[in-house]
Amino acid sequence: MLNRPHITIIAALLLALAAAWAAPVCAQNAATPDEGYTKDLRLSWETGEGKSRLVPALEIPAFILLLNGFDRAVFSDEVKDGRKVYNTSLSTFYDQLTDGHWANDDDSFEVNQFGHPYQGSVYHGFARSAGLSYWESLLYTNAGSFLWETAGETTHPSVNDQVASGVGGSFIGEALFRMASLVLERGEGRPGVFRELCAAVVSPPTGFNRHAFGERFGDLFPSHDPITSWQFQIGASWNARLEEPLSHSPFQRCEAVAVFAMSYGLPGKEGYSFSRPFDYFHFEYAALGNKDNPIDNVMIHGLLLGKDFNLGRNVRGIWGLFGGYDYISPHVFRVSSTSVSFGTTCRIRLSEKNELQGTLLGGAGFIAAGNIGKVGDRDYDYGLAPQGLLRLRLVLGERVQLDLTGRSFYLNGIVKRGIEGGRDVNRHHLDAGVTVRLKGSHGVSVQYTVSTRDVRLPEGPEIDKRRRTVKILYTFLGSRNFGAVDWRDQER
């Protein structure tokens, strides 16, 4: 069972894609390229010729209008502050611009922390697939978020939604655009129907523009052939009861789980530069067989500004400023963050067949944190807080991969209105796993996760809660060597 943000976004995208297939401009698919657009109007990623600032400037408001119309019809009874939320008009738009009081809204965690960022990724995708750069697309994404806050709803404009959609949405949108472009690029000749369809599923705005405008935006985004490592997993997870303190209770609540993870642009390839934002990024998505909460986590971090480095013959890496979006474990310990961090990703060749990969990031984010209960209209709160990430991966030849990832969110002093009732609340997530290749691309993985929540009340004892999860997964591996490469073979 999908909840409101999923229904709204999916329905709007389906309507938009249907409109694209019916658009008269699609008739050019049956014509020769020169009958549709002149050579000068076609997009060239290398020179920038043919890109359009007008197309996304029209598409984003059209998408917002479509989304508002859908919400107006489906959620017609939703009322806040005595007004129907989606019954907007030119009058309400003017009032928001002139007298709108910006605040943090009380929408559900799923709407604010997943629905709005994904909505922002659509804005970003429209701009990127029309040939604009990442930074130009970031401006369009924020403009689209501002337009929704002032013209899409009658409620007060929301600071948290502007950050989540305008900034977090750009991080999601860029990762999806890059992955969709990689699907289109890898293969022989012009992308066929299957690859076009797969790319549209990954990044619907990219699929929309490629189909609706045909040759105009048909040029493939040049990835420069990055080193990638990806895997798809499906299996089952067993969760322990939430306890305080933790005892030796048996695991229970078995759920189906599916996970996709990709590292894009790993350092170590001679000639590959990191001059563009997200020339390196890491993406993870996990879904649960839980009708109340099907999305377990979405985690992204990508290099915004930085450089590569070499330390001798055995170390290759990148360092600089990273952008990040996290939506983690909403079923129990819900934490979401849009962040900027400074750090590094590096690879160390330990021997001819073994390699250690690591990422270390430290920075600050606009964080939402809550728990499974609810008091009042919102069961979580917002604030600026430091956070950190440490990821280690040990690749042992082509047979075994060991993973260890730790995330910490130091929310001291920001949770004041949520159900925590405490002044200092910290979240920590530790994931450990092992993957064994059985044959070819097929393997099996075992993962163990511990999530903790530490609350220090102004007057009273400390409260520590933990949740443990064990997953057993079939794993399809995208590369035989888990993304490890020996760059020393490229050197003379």
Q: Are 186 and 290 part of one and the same domain?
A: no
- Is the separation of the CB atoms in 419 and 371 below 8 Å? yes
Q: Are 240 and 367 part of one and the same domain?
A: yes
Q: Are 147 and 235 part of one and the same domain?
A: no
With tokens 């549209």, the residue in question is 200
Helix 4-22 crosses helix 116-129 at what angle (to 10 degrees)? Answer: 20
Residue 223 lies in a domain: no
Residue 472 lies in a domain: yes
Domain around 115: 4-217
Domain edge (last residue) among 217, 239, 254: 217
Please report, in tens digits, the pLDDT of each residue of the chain (492 residues total): 445 545 555 554 555 455 444 443 433 333 333 344 455 578 999 888 999 999 999 999 999 999 999 988 888 888 887 788 888 889 989 888 888 788 877 788 888 889 999 999 999 999 999 999 999 999 999 999 999 999 999 888 888 899 999 999 999 999 999 999 999 998 777 888 999 999 999 999 999 999 999 889 989 999 999 999 999 999 999 877 555 444 444 445 788 999 999 999 999 888 899 999 999 999 999 998 877 778 889 999 999 999 999 998 899 999 999 999 999 876 667 889 999 999 999 999 998 889 999 999 999 999 888 755 554 456 777 788 899 999 999 999 889 999 999 999 987 655 444 444 445 567 888 999 999 999 989 999 999 998 887 766 555 555 667 788 899 999 999 877 787 777 766 554
Q: How far apart are CA 364 and CA 389, in angstroms?
A: 11
Q: How far apart are CA 313 and CA 348, in angstroms?
A: 9
The reported pLDDT for the residue numbered 415 is 44
The reported pLDDT for the residue numbered 388 is 96
The reported pLDDT for the residue numbered 246 is 43
Q: How far apart are CA 159 and CA 326, in angstroms?
A: 18
The reported pLDDT for the residue numbered 179 is 97
Q: Are 204 and 232 part of one and the same domain?
A: no
Domain edge (last residue) among 217, 238, 262: 217
Residue 362 lies in a domain: yes
Residue 197 lies in a domain: yes
The reported pLDDT for the residue numbered 167 is 96
Domain edge (last residue) among 217, 241, 273: 217
Per the structure, the count of domains in the chain is 2
Q: Are 251 and 143 part of one and the same domain?
A: no
The CATH number of the domain holding residue 357 is 2.40.160
Residue 283 lies in a domain: yes
Residue 302 lies in a domain: yes
Q: Are 302 and 424 part of one and the same domain?
A: yes
Which two tokens mark 423? Answer: 């002044």
Q: Are 420 and 335 part of one and the same domain?
A: yes
Q: Are 193 and 255 part of one and the same domain?
A: no
The reported pLDDT for the residue numbered 205 is 95
How crowded is residue 384: how many other Cβ atoms within 10 Å of its Cβ?
11
Residue 222 lies in a domain: no
Q: Are 99 and 138 part of one and the same domain?
A: yes
Name beta bridge partners: 263: 229, 282
Rounded to two decimals, what is the model's pTM? 0.88
Residue 142 lies in a domain: yes
Q: Are 252 and 309 part of one and the same domain?
A: yes
By the 10 Å C-beta count (0-12 exposed, 13-18 middle, 19+ buried), 398 is classed as middle
Cis peptide before 245 (omega within 30 of 0): yes
Strand, coil or helix: what is 374?
coil
Q: Are 327 and 470 part of one and the same domain?
A: yes
Q: Are 163 and 234 part of one and the same domain?
A: no
Which DSSP helix (H) or strand (E) runs through 435? strand 424-439
